[in-house]
Each structure stands twice: as C-alpha cells, then as structure tokens.
Amino acid sequence: SRRTTVRDIAKAKARGEKWPMLTAYDAMTASVFDEAGIPVMLVGDSAGNAHLGFDSTVPVTLDHMVMLAAAVVRGTRQALIVGDLPFGSYQESPAQALRSATRLVKEAGVGAVKLEGGERSADQVRTLVEAGIPVMAHVGYTPQSVHAYGGHLVQGRGEEAAQQVLRDAKAVQDAGAFAVVLELVTAEIAAEATRSLHIPTIGIGAGPDCDAQVLVWTDMAGMTDWPGDRTPRFVKQYARLREVLGDAARAFAEDVVGGAYPAEEHSFHRRPAQG
C-alpha cells in the first residue's frame, strides 16, 4: 500500500480524526513503528540528544540528517517521513533553505521537511512550498534556540506571548505549511490555534486539544535517561525499554562469563568423515 500523504493529513483534520507522530532515527526502529501503523514519522534533529549523544540539537548537521532520514525511509513502507532541517541549514535565506531541503528530498527520499520558527521563517516556508516541498512548521518553544531561551520554557503563558504564538502559527499557515508543531505552549493557546487554523496542529507539551500529538520515541518508550531521574511533565512512558535492554545486556554478560552461552544448540560441528 502507499505512503501517507499531506492530502491524507488534510482530510484527517476535516474529519476531526486525531493522529500520532513519533520520531525515528534508524531503519529498524522505524520499521517497528511503520508496522504499528504510525502514519507520520519525524526524523527529528532531536537525534542530537536521542541518537548522537550531543546535549542539544544545535550541533546536528545536514549530513547527519540526510543519513538518518535515508535510513528511516528505507525502513518504512507506509508512513510519511518528515526530515528536520537542522540549525544553520535554513536561517540564512530562503535559497539556503531550498538547497538544504532539496538534499533531504533527493538524497534521503523524505516526503516533507520541518523547520523551526513562525513569522521569522515564513519566507523560507513559502519558497520550499513553491518548489513543491511540503513543509511542517514548528512554533512555541523551538529547541534550536536553546541558547537564546536559557532553558526549556513553556511559551505563551502571558497574553503578549500567547498572541505571538498565534501570530507565528498563522504566519506559517499563510506561507503554505501543511501542518505546524506546537511545542511547550499552554493548552489554552494550543486549543485556540487548533480551532482557528485550517492546517493540523501537532502538540508536544501542548495539551489535549491539538489535531495530532508527537513524542520523541526514546521518551515514549522509556529509553531516555533523564537527568536526576526527572521525566518532563508532558512525557508519558509507554514502556520501560531502558530497563528491558539493560536486563538483556546483563543476562547476556552473565551467560558469557559463566559459560552458559553459547550452549550446544548455538554451536556448529564438523561433518562426520565420509565412508
């Protein structure tokens, strides 16, 4: 069967159907989510933290993203794959954004790209859309600006800030984005944006009223090792993968050290001598 398209996503909003999105960074994990029916996967620059061992998304390069996105495309058959444009690959100009997005489309095979920013990125969104590349926007808290924020802060709590989030969401819709991520904004603003926009809103830490919800897969599956053991309020852990994998590794180590693995059934033997 064919992949999810941006048209399917537009129809879901018209029908009032909610949908899930997960991040993915490698082919095998992505294939699990594809088989589970996750219709849209984001090869997020959260790979910086969740896959590449950096402490933010800032060091992630376009080369990293092309490699990871290509793997996720290869590992999936049904999902729409969205590739994140990393910090420094689109802010300079719409032309730079188009060059970078083109690499994700041609070299990795993604069906859409994502970039951060509302009003400030509207020209980039318009240029990519005019070139035929579907764009998912991302407003509210935008992690590539972590150094400017000085922390992971909920956006739009005051009236002024709330209006800015709404203006940002409207700006990317007007520029032609097919969907917009709302990250770390109040449930009230997310509800208002979802009501007033005709494109779907995808929430993360944005309350229950968005058209879709996204989580970083390692957070969703309980793989992430949170500093000080403190899981953020918006994360729900649907498995305890960190414990499961750790237990498997410890059991393997114990078997090797104790001689229980490999056993007879894991071993090969020479052929008996011929007559």
Least distance from C-beta 45 to ligand KIV, angstroms? 5
Site membership for ligand KIV, residue 204 (CB under 6 A)? yes
Measure the CA angle with vertex 135, ends 108 and 118; round to 5°.
130
Binds 216, which of Na ion, ligand KIV, none (CB < 5 to 8 A, cut-off by type)? ligand KIV
Closer residue to ligand KIV (CB): 94 or 203: 203
**The tokens 């390692």 sit on which residue?**
218
92 annotated active-site = no
What is d(CA 58, CA 19) in angstroms, rounded to the nearest whole number? 28
Closer residue to ligand KIV (CB): 152 or 157: 152
Near Na ion by CB under 5 A: residue from 6, 68, 84, 173? 84
3-state helix, strand and coil shares in percent for the chain, rounded to the nearest 5: 45, 15, 40
Near Na ion by CB under 5 A: residue from 34, 45, 168, 211? 45
Site membership for ligand KIV, residue 214 (CB under 6 A)? yes
Closer residue to ligand KIV (CB): 87 or 166: 87
User: Exposure pattern of 234-253 as b/e (b: 16+ CB <10 Å)?
Assistant: beeeeeebbeeeeeeeeeee
Near ligand KIV by CB under 6 A: residue from 29, 46, 213, 218? 46
217 in helix, strand or coil? helix
Least distance from C-beta 132 to ligand KIV, angstroms? 23
Contact 23, 76 (CB under 8 A): no
Residues of the binding site for 3-methyl-2-oxobutanoate: 45-46, 84, 114
